[in-house]
Structure 1
Amino acid sequence: MRGHDLINSMLPDEALMEIMKYVDGRSSDRDACALVCKRWRKLESASRHSLSLGATGQSDTCLANMLQRFINLRQVCVDERLLVPLPISRRFPHRHALCSRMMRPFLHGKDLGVTLSRKRRRSGQHVFRSCEDDSNDTGLSNFSDIGLQFLAEGCPRLERLCLIWCSAVTSCGLVILAQACRALKVLDMQGCYVGDQGLKAVGRYCKQLEELNLRFCEGVGDDGIVGIAEGCGKSLKSLGIAACARVTDLALQAVGSYCVMLKRFTLDSECIQTDGVLAIAQGCSQLQMLRLQCVNVSDEALQVVGRNCNSLETLALFSFQKFTDRSLVAIGGGCKKLRTVTLSDSYYVSDCSLAAIANGCPQLAVLEINGCHNIGTAGLQAVGRACRGLQELVLKYCQKIGDEGLVEVGKGCSQLRALHLVDCSSIGDVAIRNIALGCNQLRRLHIRRCYKVGDRGVVAFGTHCKKLMDLSLRFCDRIGDDALIAIGQGCHQLRLLNVSGCHRVGDVGLSSIAQGCPSLIHLDVSVCQNVGDIGLAALGKGCPLLKEVILSHSRKITDIGLGQLVTNCKTLESCHMVYCPCITPVGVATICAGCNSLKKVLVEKWKITDRTRRRHATILTELCMDL
C-alpha cells in the first residue's frame, strides 16, 4: 500500500538478514539494499562477508574505512594490479557528486565490487596513475603491514585472505595477522615479498589452513615451507609453489612427510629435482590434482605417482624435458580416475603415451595436447576408441595429427562439448565434418590457422550441431559465406562468433548470421575485407543483444554502417574500430552518443574530436599512431 512501510514494520532484523543472504554475490543487488534506508544499510553491512580492494595508493587507509562498516568479513582480497577509474559525468555533474557521496562509505567488494583508483584531469583528459606513481606522492602507499594489522584487529574471524602483488607486505605483518586470525583457511600470496618468518607464524597459529598459494614469492625458502608442513600438515589440502628459487627438495620432502591430506599440488620450479616430487608422490597418496612444470624431474617421480596416487583426477605437465613414455604408461596403469590431462611442450612422449592414458583412464573428459610433436594420428585414434565420455579436446601445434584421428573421435566421443584446434596443418574438412556428424552435443568450436579447413567442413555444423553457442574460425583462409549461411540457418543459439582474418567472409554471410542468431552478444569480424555497411545494418536489425563488436582493419565499413548498427543495438558495451579508413570522427561521435551502455571504444586518436573527448572521455581508449 502506498505510503506504508510494511516490510520494515512487519519483518524483524533476523528475517531481513536472512533474505539478504540470498543476494550475497550480486553487487548491484546488495548496493540497492544498502540504499533503501538506514536500517537496511546497517543490516546489509552486518551480513556482508567478502570484500575486494584494488590499487588506490592509499590501500591501508581505505581498508581501515571498510572495516569500520563491514564488521563480519570472512573473505578479503587485495589485488594491487587492479586500477579501475571512477568516471566523472560531464553531462550530469550533480549526479556524479551524489553518486560519489553514496559510494564513499561502501566501495565494492568481491560481491561488492570494490575498486578504488585515483585520477586527475589535465587539459580535459583523464590521466590515471599507476601504483608506482602513487607510491612516490606524499602520504600515498601500497597495501602494507599496516593494512594487515587493521585486518588482524578488525577481522578476527577471517577465513580467506588473498594478497596479489602487494609488494609492501612483509613477514612482520603476516606474523601479526597469523596471531590474530587463527581461523584462516585460505591464504593466497602472489608476488608478495614475505619471508620464512611469516610463513612459520602461519604454520604455528593457523592450524585450520587448507589452501596456500605461493607464486613469485621470492623471499620464501625451505624454512617457511617446512614450518607450514609441520604446523598445518593435518589440514593442508592445496599447495601451490611457483618461481620460488629458494625452495628446494628439502621443503617438498617435509610436505610429503607431514601433509598426508594434500589433494592439490602445483609446482613450477627449475630448482626442484626428482627427489622432491618423489617425496610428494610417496607421502601424499590422496592427491587429486597434480600440475608440474619442472625441467629437472625424471620418469621415476611420475612412475611413483602412477603406483601410489590412485585418486588422481587432474594431471598437467608443462615444458617437461626428462619425462618419457614410461611416465605416462605408469599413470595410465594406476590412475584409473583420471579425468583431465594436459601435455604441453614435449619431444619425448609419443602415441604410446596417449594410448596408455586412453586405455587406462576410461573416464577421461578433458584432453589438451600442446606442442607435443611426436604425438600423431594413432594416439588420437586410441582416445576416440576408448574415451567415450570425452567432453573437451584441445589440439595445439600438433602437426602430425591428421584427419583419421579426429574421424575416430567423431565416431566414439558423442559427448564432446568443445573442440579447439590451433595450427594443426594436417587436419582438414574430412575431420571437421566427421566431428559434426558424430558430436551433435557440441557447444564450442574454435579453429585457428588450420588452413585445410574450409566451408565444406563447417557447413556440417549448421546441419547437425544445433546447440552450438561459441564459434571461432580465426585466420582460416578457406572459410567464407557458405559456412556462415549454414550456421545462421541451423545454429540459432549462437552467442559468440569470431571470424577474424577470414577474407572470404562478406555481407551475405554476416546477414545470414543476423537473421538466424538473435542471441548473438559478441562478434569479431576484424581483418575481414569484404564486410561492409550492409552486413552491419543487418546485424543491427537482427541482433539487438549485441554487447561487443570488433571491426578493426575492415576497409569497407563506413560511418553509415556504424549508424545502422547503433540504431537498434542499444546494449552495445564495447566497440573496436582501429585501422578502418572509411570511419571518420563523425562515425566515432555517432557510436559514442548512440549507445548509453558503452564502456569502451577503441579508435585512433586523431579521429576523436575535442567535443567527443569532453563528452565521452571515460569510455574512449585512444590508439596513438603519431609516435
Structure 2
Amino acid sequence: MSKVFDFSGVDDFCSGGFMHTNPKDSNLFFPLGRHVDVYFPRKRSHVSAPFVFSGEVKPQPSIEVLPDECLFEVFRRLSGGQERSVCASVSKRWLMLLSSIHRDEIFPAKGNLDPEEHDNTSISVKEDEAFKPKEKVEFVDSERVKSVNEEFEGIDSDGFLSRCLEGKKATDVRLASIAVGTGSRGGLGKLSIRGSSSTRGLTNLGLRAIGRGCPSLRYLSLWNLSSIGDEGLLEIASGARLLEKLDLCHCPAITDIGLIAMAMNCPNLMSVTIESCTNIGNESLKALGRYCPNLKCITVKNCALIGDQGIVSLFSSAGHVLSKAKFQALDISDVSLAVIGHYGSAMTDLELLDLQNVNDRGFWVMGKGQGLQKLKVLSITACGGVSDSGLEALGGGCPNLKLFGLRKNLLVSDTGIVKLARAAVSLESLQLEECHRITQCGVFHILANCGGKFKALALANCLGIRDINFLFPLTSICHSIRSLIIHNCPGFGDVGLAVLGRMCPKLTQVELSGLQGITDTGLLPLIRSLEAGLNKLNLSGSVNLTDNSVVAITKMHGETLELMNLDGCKYLTDITLSEIAQNCSVLTELDVSKCGITDSGIATLSGAEQLNLQIFSLAGCSFVSDMSLPYLGVLGKTLVGLNIRHCNGISSSSIDLLLEQLWRCDVLY
C-alpha cells in the first residue's frame, strides 16, 4: 500500500498530478499525516481494497445541530423573500419552521432593502431559476419537499396569487410552501382547498401556516375536509384579518367556536357560505350579524343546527346591509319569513329552497311586512306551503321585483300567478317550472295583464299546460315581451303557438324545445306574426317540423338570426342547409344534430361566402361521410367549435386529417 502513495510525476500505473501545488491545501479535503500525499487518478482505479488514511477524521460542523429555537432566530432575520424561499426548499424541517414565523416576527432588512418587498408586480422566470437550489437535502423527513418556487402559477386580475389544491395535493407541506413563498410575490389573495373525507395529508397545521404567513388573504374556500377544525379557523382569524369571502362546505369538525372567531376578527367579511356543516348552529349567524358590518351575502344550506333563532338574530342585526341571501333545507318556520320581510330592507336577491316547515301564512306576512322594497330577484323552489294568497301578498310587497321564479309547486294556480303579475308592476321575467296547476289559460292571462316592463317568460315541465280554444280581445297584446321559452310541456301544441303569435309580436328570442306536439301548421303563423327580427331560435326536439318551417324562418329572419338549434328535427334535409346558406348572413351558431342532412348539404353550406359560422354541430348525422372532409375544412376557417360525434360515416383516418387541418378548432368526435 505504501507504493500507492509514493507515486510522483508520471508513472505507468496512471498519469496525473497533485491537485494542489501547496501540499497544505490538501488538508481542506482530508486530514492526512505529514508525509502522506494523495494522488487522484484520472481513471477509475481497479483496486477493490479500501484506502487507509492515517489521522482521525473529524466531522464537519452543520447548522442542523442547532435546535429549532436557534434556527427560528436565524430564519426570522433573513433579509428577503427569495432567501426564505431557498431555505424552505432545503428540508421539511426548515420549511415548517419558516412557515411558523408570523409576518410580524420577521426582522426588517437593514441597509439595502429587498426590492421584492416593494415591487411585486413583475417576476421573471430567470429570477426564479436563479434562486432555485440545485439540490435539496432532506435531513429529517424522508419525504421529498417540493420546491417552493414550483408552487407559483400566476397572478390573478386583483394582483394577488390564487391557489387551488384538490385531493391528494392538499397537504400541510404544500400549504406551508405557499405561505412562505407567496409573501414576496404580491401575497396570497385566494385559497381554495377541495379534498374529501379520506384526505389525510392536511391538518390544522397547514391552515396555521397560511394564517401566519398570508395576511393578505381575502378569499378562503374549504370543501370536504373532515380533518380541518376550529383550530385551523382560529389561526386564519388571527392572521388573515382582511378576509372578505368565506366558503365552508362539508366540514363537520368546524363548530360555532371557529366561525365566531372569524366573525369577531374579520370585520371585512362580505360573503359567507355554510353548507352541510353539521356542527355550525345559530350562534354563528348571531355573531356574523353582530360583528360583520360589511356582510352583503349569506348562504346557508343543509345545516341541521340552524333554525329560526339564527335567522332572526342575523336579520335583526344585519338586515340593513344584507343584499343577497339563500336558505336551503333548513328547519325554519314562518317566523323566519316574517323577520326577513320586516328587517330585510337592503335585500335585492332572495332564494328559498326546500323549506318544508314554512306555510302560506309565512309568505303572506313576508309580503305584508313592507321591508322588501328593494327586492329585485325572488326564487322559491320546493316550498310546498306557498299558495295563491302568499304570491299576491309578495307581489304587492315587492314593488321593485324584476325576476320571479317558482319551481316544484303543487298549490299555486292560475289565480295566484296572475295576481302576482298584476301586483308586481316592475316584473320583467317570470320562470315557472314543474307548476302543474298552471294552465294555458293562465299563461295567456299573464301576458294580457302584466305590466309594460315584462320581457321574458319561461315555462318548463308544466304538465297542466294544454291546448285550449282561447278567445281574447284585440287589445290583449304584450308589446314588451322579447323572450319566450317553452321547454318539455307535452300538452302545448299548434293552437297555443298561434295564440302566442298574435299576443307577442315583438319576440326576438324563441325556444320551443321538447315539444313533440307542434308542427309546421302552428309554427308558421308564429314566425310570420313576429314584427321584430329573430336573433335566437331553438327548436330542438321538435321532431315533427319539416323544411317548410326553416324556409319561412330564413326568408323572414335570416338577416338577424344569430343562433339556430335544430337538434333532433329528423325530417329536415339538405334543403334546410341550402336556405341557411342563401339567407342567413349573420349566423354564428348552427346545430343540425340528428337531422337528415348529407354531404351535399354540407358542400352547399361551405360555399356560402357571407356565412361566418363559429360553432357547427352535426352530431349523429348518419348520412354524413368522408366526402364532407374538404367542405368541413372550408368551414373550419372560421370555426372555433365543431361537433361530429356519432357520425358513423366519417372514418377515423378522416378524423385524424380533420384534426390536423383544424388545429385551431375544438373538435368533438
Q: TM-score, normalised by structure 2?
A: 0.68
What's the secondary structure of 2:628's corresponding residue?
helix
Partner of 1:127: none
What's the secondary structure of 2:272's corresponding residue?
strand
* Contiguous gaps of at least 5 residues in structure 1: 1-12, 21-32, 81-130, 603-627
Q: Residues 547, 34 of structure 1: CA spacing in aligned structure 2 closer, same or farther, 3 A cutoff? A: farther
Is 2:53 the partner of 1:53? no
Q: 477, 484, 487: which is aligned to 1:422?
A: 487
Q: Is the 8 A contact 1:34 1:44 kept in 2?
A: no
Partner of 2:433: 370
Q: Residues 182, 443 of structure 1: CA spacing in aligned structure 2 closer, same or farther, 3 A cutoff? A: farther
Alpha-carbon shift at residue 266 of structure 1 (Å):
1.0
1:184-195 to 2 correspondence within 5 Å? Answer: 184-193=243-252, 194-195=254-255
Alpha-carbon shift at residue 428 of structure 1 (Å):
2.9
Distance 2:611 2:629 in 1: 14
Alpha-carbon shift at residue 133 of structure 1 (Å):
13
1:122-271 to 2 correspondence within 5 Å? Answer: 141=201, 145=204, 148-163=207-222, 169-193=228-252, 194-232=254-292, 234-261=293-320, 262-271=322-331
Q: Output the amino acid matched with 1:418.
A: S
Q: Deviations over 1:189-224 (max 9, x none)?
A: 344444322211111111232221223334422332
Partner of 1:496: 563
Is 2:516 the partner of 1:451? yes
Q: Deviations over 1:550-570 (max 9, x none)?
A: 333221111222442123313
Partner of 1:472: 538
Alpha-carbon shift at residue 503 of structure 1 (Å):
1.2
Partner of 2:27: none
Is 2:443 the partner of 1:380? yes
Q: Which 4+ runs in 1 deviate beyond 6 A?
A: 33-38, 43-47, 131-134, 403-410
Distance 2:638 2:277 in 1: 42
Distance 2:470 2:374 in 1: 29
Distance 2:247 2:168 in 1: 21
Q: Is the 8 A contact 1:470 1:497 kept in 2?
A: yes
What's the secondary structure of 1:527's corresponding residue?
coil
What's the secondary structure of 1:497's corresponding residue?
strand
What's the secondary structure of 2:166's corresponding residue?
coil
What's the secondary structure of 1:282's corresponding residue?
helix
Alpha-carbon shift at residue 244 of structure 1 (Å):
1.8
Q: Is the 8 A contact 1:358 1:364 kept in 2?
A: yes
1:29-40 to 2 correspondence within 5 Å? Answer: none
Quick one: percent identity of the two aligned structures?
A: 24
Distance 1:238 1:406 in 2: 46
Q: Output the amino acid matched with 1:564.
A: Y
What's the secondary structure of 1:337's corresponding residue?
coil
Alpha-carbon shift at residue 397 of structure 1 (Å):
2.0
Distance 1:549 1:419 in 2: 24
Q: Is the 8 A contact 1:340 1:367 kept in 2?
A: yes
Alpha-carbon shift at residue 575 of structure 1 (Å):
3.8
Q: Output the amino acid matched with 1:71.
A: G
Partner of 1:321: 384
Q: 71, 74, 78: which is aligned to 2:192?
A: 78
Distance 2:217 2:506 in 1: 43
Distance 1:150 1:410 in 2: 69
Q: Is the 8 A contact 2:644 2:667 kept in 1?
A: no
Is 2:662 the partner of 1:601? no
Is 2:368 the partner of 1:307? yes
Partner of 1:390: 454
Q: TM-score, normalised by structure 1?
A: 0.72
Q: Deviations over 1:236-284 (max 9, x none)?
A: 2221111222322222222233222222221111532333333333333
Q: Is the 8 A contact 2:161 2:182 kept in 1?
A: no
What's the secondary structure of 2:650's corresponding residue?
coil
Q: Is the 8 A contact 1:473 1:498 kept in 2?
A: yes
Distance 2:402 2:603 in 1: 46
Q: Deviations over 1:328-373 (max 9, x none)?
A: 1211232222111111111111112112111111110110011111
What's the secondary structure of 1:303's corresponding residue?
helix
Q: Residues 44, 195 of structure 1: CA spacing in aligned structure 2 closer, same or farther, 3 A cutoff? A: closer
Q: Which has the higher contact order (CA 8 A, sep 6+)?
A: 1
Partner of 2:21: none
Is 2:604 the partner of 1:538? yes
Q: Residues 355, 156 of structure 1: CA spacing in aligned structure 2 closer, same or farther, 3 A cutoff? A: same
Distance 1:406 1:287 in 2: 40
Q: Is the 8 A contact 2:281 2:303 kept in 1?
A: yes
Q: Deviations over 1:285-322 (max 9, x none)?
A: 43322211212211222112111223322211111222
Distance 2:659 2:475 in 1: 46
Q: Residues 315, 424 of structure 1: CA spacing in aligned structure 2 closer, same or farther, 3 A cutoff? A: same
Q: Is the 8 A contact 1:314 1:338 kept in 2?
A: yes
Distance 1:515 1:79 in 2: 53
Q: Is the 8 A contact 1:158 1:184 kept in 2?
A: yes
Distance 1:163 1:407 in 2: 56
Q: Output the amino acid matched with 1:417.
A: R
Q: Residues 362, 201 of structure 1: CA spacing in aligned structure 2 closer, same or farther, 3 A cutoff? A: same
Q: Is the 8 A contact 2:302 2:329 kept in 1?
A: yes
Pick which of 187-196 and 419-428 moved more: 187-196
Q: Deviations over 1:377-420 (max 9, x none)?
A: 34323322232211221111223334778989995432323221
Q: Is the 8 A contact 2:196 2:226 kept in 1?
A: no
What's the secondary structure of 2:352's corresponding residue?
strand
Aligned residues: 515
Q: Output the amino acid matched with 1:550.
A: S
1:87-98 to 2 correspondence within 5 Å? Answer: none
Q: Residues 590, 442 of structure 1: CA spacing in aligned structure 2 closer, same or farther, 3 A cutoff? A: farther
Partner of 2:553: 487
Distance 1:557 1:406 in 2: 47
Distance 1:539 1:207 in 2: 60
RMSD after superposition: 3.8
Distance 1:313 1:382 in 2: 23
